[in-house]
């Protein structure tokens, strides 16, 4: 009896064509995309489904849709009629998302289903068939996925606060003039972390140390120009740019980048943590000073403490109220209007 030829993908009935969506979370690395695909492949084989497309968000948090380009592409393909499949196979509810609002997770699934693309969760104990039991289980899982992120955020933040108290640097790029060094659990240096590099072992720590002498000289020069010569942030930036000096990112200086130097306690050997809150993908918001975590004397001051304090006093004196700022802007606008009339 002759063997039947396997059907080509484009000959598979539309109802048996499926896409898979996989996501590797930044907060739960054990769910690799390959592990997800293995489970999805087994699920598809049991139901004689053909996977014709893969949407993958690798290293993306499930808190928000904003940075998950693959999921946005999937939804767009479904809504515009470009989807050549009727099913989307997902490992579990948490891979679809850890949205803080369970209704948001449901919304994205609903608009796909309305467009004729059904979502199925391959690693869950329930079938996503719209029954009462599956609906209850799915909504419970959505709430649990969001709660997991909230609990993890609290634990991570507590750990970061403790490590900051001990003098360890807690993420982000270092300030101009400083460098990050990786140390092991015994405090021995393992090497310099270059821009964009991160620690690769959980037990390792990162400390800040003064950087190259030419950068330290520039930092001291900025403070001298501001305090002793009474030059503005913008004027200091222009002078540095004329000399061809560049900032930490290799870009020209701006008033903002000069201000970030003048207000940074790193230059007197201190480290301040928790000035802003960034948790759960929300917009950053400033915290009151009583919530800041300040660790002092981590290394020898780059700028004389008395010079640093004087810089803060001058900044406070120069800070305009809203009324003063509006008055100055109004005066500038009138000058421009008069100049335009004369021309």
Please provide residue 93's backbone torsions phi and psi, each rounded to the nearest 5 degrees: -60, -40
Measured CA to CA, the distance from residue 335 to residue 299 in angstroms comes to 50
Q: Which CATH number among 3.40.50.2300, 3.40.225.10, 3.90.1750.20, 3.40.50.720 corresponds to the domain 169-323? A: 3.90.1750.20
282 vs 275: CA distance, rounded Å = 15
> Mean pLDDT, to the nearest integer, of 300-311?
95
Least confident of 73-87, 121-135, 208-222, 324-338: 324-338
Confidence of residue 341 (pLDDT cuts 50, 70, 90): low
* Mean of pLDDT values over 121-142: 92
218: which 2 tokens?
A: 């520039």
Q: What is the pLDDT of residue 29?
A: 55
CB 21, CB 74: distance < 8 Å = yes
Greater pLDDT, 28 or 87: 87
CA–CA gap between residue 191 and residue 153 (Å, rounded)? 29
Element at 93 (helix H, strand E): helix 93-96
- State phi, psi for 297 to the nearest 5 degrees: 65, 35
pLDDT band at 155 (very low <50, low <70, confident <90, very high): confident
Please tell me the total number of residues recorded for the chain in this structure.
Answer: 343
pLDDT one-digit tens code per residue, 246-272? 998 889 999 999 999 999 999 999 999
Q: DSSP letter at 63?
A: S
**Region class of 304: left (phi > 0), else alpha (psi between -120 and 50), else beta:** beta
Pairing between β-strand 178-183 and β-strand 271-273 as defined by DSSP bridges: unpaired
Three-class DSSP labels, the chain: CCCCCCCCHHHCCHHHEEEEEEEECCCCCCCCHHHHHHHHHHHHHHCCCEEEEEEEEECCCCCCCCCCHHHHHHHHHHHHCCCCCCEEEECCHHHHCCCCCHHHHHHHHHHHHHCCCEEEECCCCCCCCCCHHHHHHHHHHHHHHHHHHHHHHHHHHHHHHHHHHCCCCCCCCCCCCEEEEEECCCCCEEEEECCCCCCCCCCCEEEEEECCHHHHHHHHHHHHHHHCCCCCHHHHHHHHHHCCCCCCCCCCCCHHHHHHHHCCHHHHCCEEECCEECHHHCCCEECCHHHCEEECCCCCCCCCHHHHHHHHHHHHHHCCCHHHHHHHHHHHHHHHHHHHHHC
pLDDT at residue 276 greater than cutoff 70: yes
Given this model, what pLDDT does residue 325 score?
66
For the domain made up of 9-149, give the CATH fold.
Answer: Rossmann fold (3.40.50)
* Fold match between domain 9-149 and domain 169-323: no
Q: Which residue has the higher pLDDT, 210 or 331?
A: 210
- Using one digit for the tens of pLDDT, what is the confidence trace for 48-96? 999 999 999 988 888 889 889 999 999 999 999 999 999 999 999 999 9
Q: Where are the domains of the chain?
A: 9-149, 169-323
What the block records as the tokens of 55 is 């949407």
Which helix (H) or strand (E) is 269 found in, with range? none
Per-residue model confidence as pLDDT tens digits over 216-251: 999 999 999 999 999 999 999 999 999 999 998 889
Burial 97-134 (b: 16+ CB within 10 A, else e): bbbbebeebbebbeebeeeebbbbbbbbeeebeeeeeb
Going from the C-alpha of 53 to that of each of 37, 77, 86, 128, 225, the distances in angstroms are 12, 11, 11, 21, 60
| pLDDT exceeds 60 at position 28 | no
- State residue 2's pLDDT score: 42
Provide the percentage of residues in the chain whose pLDDT is more than 70: 89
- What tokens appear for 152 in the block? 């993890």
Rounded Cα distance, 159 and 273, in Å? 12
pLDDT at 157: 83
Sheet holding 178-183, edge to edge: 189-193, 178-183, 205-210
């Amino acid at each position: 009896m002759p063997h039947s030829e396997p059907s080509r993908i484009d000959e598979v009935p539309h109802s048996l064509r499926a896409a898979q969506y996989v996501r590797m979370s930044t907060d739960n690395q054990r769910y690799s995309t390959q592990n997800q695909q293995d489970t999805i492949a087994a699920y598809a084989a049991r139901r004689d489904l053909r996977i014709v497309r893969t949407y993958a968000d690798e290293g993306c948090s499930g808190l928000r849709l904003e940075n998950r380009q693959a999921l946005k592409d999937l939804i767009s393909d479904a809504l515009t009629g470009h989807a050549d499949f009727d099913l989307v196979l997902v490992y579990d509810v948490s891979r679809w998302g850890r949205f803080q609002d369970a209704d948001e997770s449901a919304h994205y699934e609903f608009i796909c289903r309305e467009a004729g693309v059904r979502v199925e969760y391959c690693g869950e104990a329930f079938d996503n068939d719209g029954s009462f039991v599956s609906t209850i289980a799915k909504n419970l899982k959505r709430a649990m996925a969001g709660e997991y992120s909230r609990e993890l955020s609290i634990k991570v933040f507590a750990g970061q606060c403790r490590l900051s108290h001990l003098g360890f640097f807690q993420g982000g790029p270092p300030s101009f003039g400083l460098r990050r060094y990786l140390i092991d659990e015994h405090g021995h240096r393992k090497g310099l972390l270059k821009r964009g590099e991160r620690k690769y072992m959980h037990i390792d720590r990162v400390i800040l140390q003064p950087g190259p002498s030419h950068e330290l000289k520039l930092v001291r020069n900025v403070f001298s120009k501001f305090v002793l010569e009474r030059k503005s942030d913008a004027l200091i930036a222009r002078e540095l740019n004329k000399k061809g000096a560049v900032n930490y990112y290799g870009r020209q200086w701006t008033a903002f980048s000069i201000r970030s130097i003048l207000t940074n306690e790193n230059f007197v050997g201190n480290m301040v943590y928790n000035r802003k809150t960034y948790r759960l993908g929300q917009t950053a918001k400033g915290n009151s000073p009583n919530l800041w975590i300040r660790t002092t004397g981590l290394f020898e001051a780059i700028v004389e403490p008395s010079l640093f304090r004087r810089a803060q006093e001058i900044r406070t004196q120069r800070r305009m109220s809203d009324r003063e700022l509006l008055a100055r802007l109004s005066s500038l606008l009138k000058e421009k209007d008069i100049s335009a009339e004369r021309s």
